């Protein structure tokens, strides 16, 4: 039997039983849509977590810590006595360490990590909790300069001041980047975090640092690093001191006077990151990059995506039995037709191919339409999520349901394979029919 004749006969047979075919295809649609939607949630959430870590500013940076902590192999057992003992065995990070690391080839700049939480009030605005980061001029990259929306950095304006992230303007009661520039930013100690009662006044005798706002940058352009208030050394060091003990905490306990809890290192380009990291590791310090966090997220979500896929595959299992039932009934109803085909010269394998082709067609149509339904459900889910978690004009819209091309093709292929397996026995049964007996069948 020619392939074109096989295809025509397959489509003709499916059209004859339109209702049964439609119901069986619907079962495959539901199963495929369930699998695709569940897996797409895992993919979307994972990408939402990873995307901020894949910005160029983070991919060319690493953090140096006084202790080695391998995120790839770290487990809850490390929190026991043995693990804590390792954390106590740490190296001191001092100015000599900065000079030592700065001498490594391809290192652009090294500076103390003073990323601490503080309370911030913009003159005439609101109080909000923010993270500040004190960075030298050399750490201001071209990407950071391109992200500026209003004003500029201290080495551009010629005066010290704070550069705010656009994502925090709404929290601070500022309408636009241009409106923020020129106001005063008042930083206070963490004690102000707990002034949560409406109308509560912040005690004026608390330590505070007032800094003019000289710029605002686009948060989205810097990814995960786009939530910090940036300050230059000097006034930034004064502000960081407001954090008190919080600014001295690290793995294994607080650092001593004259030591730093961590260092931030920027390399000249991404290609040399591993080389610089290896050189620092050889000196006995711990290092961490955005790639480490991405690796941990990938590892965790492999299991999550597999679990979501298994849950969604329940629908395809149900569809499996529906296809098998449809094909078995087709064999019973078309016994005389099978006998006629064999009497006209059709071989056993031609009959098998006919029934397998019918099952595969049901699986293909159901899988294709199921992916389409999943896309619609995903779009609706994203719409509801963005409406429910409205985050302001400067925030990236949520995209929690992400159906990639490999996922869509895999879902359709899975549906076809499931259908073929379900139709294998009925096809074999049809091919084994004796043509004489089949022609006598009523």
pLDDT at 42 over 90: no
pLDDT at 68 over 50: yes
CA distance 56 to 58: 5
| pLDDT confidence of residue 111 | 92
Q: Residues 212-222: what's their mean pLDDT? A: 89
The CA distances from residue 85 to 76, 89, 251, 286, 302, in Å, are 14, 7, 11, 15, 31
Banded model confidence at residue 441, pLDDT cuts 50, 70, 90: low
pLDDT above 70 coverage of the chain, percent: 81
Q: Residues 175-191: what's their mean pLDDT? A: 86
Banded model confidence at residue 157, pLDDT cuts 50, 70, 90: low
* Angle (deg, nearest 10), helices 348-388 and 3-16: 60
Q: Residues 159-170: what's their mean pLDDT? A: 88
Residue 135, helix vs strand vs coil = coil
| pLDDT confidence of residue 78 | 47
Predicted confidence (pLDDT) per residue in 258-273, tens digit: 888 889 998 888 888 8
Q: Say how many C-beta atoms besides its own lie within 10 A of residue 94's C-beta.
A: 15
Banded model confidence at residue 199, pLDDT cuts 50, 70, 90: very low
Predicted confidence (pLDDT) per residue in 134-151, tens digit: 999 888 888 888 889 999
- Average per-residue pLDDT in the chain? 80
pTM: 0.62
Residue 217, helix vs strand vs coil = strand
Residues in CB range of 44: below 8 A, 6 or more apart: 378, 399, 400, 401, 402
pLDDT at 388 over 70: yes
Banded model confidence at residue 188, pLDDT cuts 50, 70, 90: confident
Cβ atoms of 216 and 164 within 8 Å: the answer is yes
| pLDDT confidence of residue 425 | 82
Banded model confidence at residue 153, pLDDT cuts 50, 70, 90: very high
Tokens of 219: 């948060």
| pLDDT confidence of residue 370 | 92
Residues in CB range of 419: below 8 A, 6 or more apart: 28, 319, 320, 323, 359, 360, 362, 363, 364, 366
| pLDDT confidence of residue 81 | 44
Predicted confidence (pLDDT) per residue in 74-98, tens digit: 444 444 444 444 555 667 888 899 9
Strand partners, 210: 186
Residue 440, helix vs strand vs coil = helix
- Low-confidence winner among 24-38, 64-78, 207-221 (lowest mean pLDDT): 64-78
Tokens of 162: 């704070």
């Amino acid at each position: 039997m020619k392939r074109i004749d096989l295809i025509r006969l397959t489509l003709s047979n499916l059209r004859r039983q339109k209702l049964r075919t439609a119901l069986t295809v619907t079962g495959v649609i539901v199963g495929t849509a369930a699998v695709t939607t569940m897996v797409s949630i895992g993919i979307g959430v994972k990408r939402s977590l990873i995307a901020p870590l894949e910005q160029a500013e983070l991919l060319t940076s690493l953090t140096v810590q006084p202790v080695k902590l391998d995120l790839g192999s770290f487990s809850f057992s490390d929190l026991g006595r043995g693990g804590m003992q390792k954390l106590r065995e740490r190296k001191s990070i001092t100015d000599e360490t900065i000079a030592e690391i700065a001498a490594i080839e391809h290192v652009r700049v090294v500076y103390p990590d003073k990323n601490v939480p503080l309370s911030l009030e913009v003159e005439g605005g609101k109080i909000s909790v923010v993270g500040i980061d004190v960075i030298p001029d050399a750490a201001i990259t071209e990407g950071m300069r391109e992200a500026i929306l209003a004003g500029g950095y201290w080495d551009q304006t010629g005066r010290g001041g704070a550069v705010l992230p656009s994502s925090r303007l709404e929290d601070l009661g500022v309408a636009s980047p241009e409106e923020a520039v020129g106001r005063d930013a008042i930083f206070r100690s963490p004690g102000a975090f707990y002034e949560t009662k409406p109308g509560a006044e912040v005690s004026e005798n608390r330590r505070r640092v007032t800094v003019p706002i000289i710029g605002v940058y686009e948060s989205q352009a810097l990814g995960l690093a786009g939530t910090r208030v940036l300050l230059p050394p000097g006034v930034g060091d004064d502000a960081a001191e407001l954090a008190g003990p919080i600014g001295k905490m690290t793995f294994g306990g607080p650092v001593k006077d004259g030591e730093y809890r961590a260092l931030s290192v920027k390399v000249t380009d991404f290609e040399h990151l591993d080389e610089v990291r290896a050189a620092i590791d050889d000196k006995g310090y711990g290092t961490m990059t955005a790639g480490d966090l991405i690796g941990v997220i990938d590892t965790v979500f492999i299991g999550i995506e597999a679990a979501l896929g298994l849950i969604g595959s329940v629908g395809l299992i149900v569809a499996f039995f529906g296809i098998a039932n449809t094909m078995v009934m087709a064999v019973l109803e078309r016994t005389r037709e099978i006998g006629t085909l064999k009497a006209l010269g059709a071989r056993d394998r031609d009959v098998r191919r006919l029934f397998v082709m019918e099952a595969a067609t049901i699986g293909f149509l159901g899988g294709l339409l199921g992916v389409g339904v999943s896309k619609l459900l995903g779009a609706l889910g994203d719409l509801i999520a963005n409406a429910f978690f409205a985050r302001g004009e400067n925030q990236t819209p949520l995209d929690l349901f992400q159906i990639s091309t490999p996922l869509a093709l895999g879902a359709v292929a899975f549906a076809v394979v499931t259908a073929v397996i379900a139709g294998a026995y009925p096809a074999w049964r049809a091919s084994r029919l004796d043509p004489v007996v089949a022609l006598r069948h009523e």
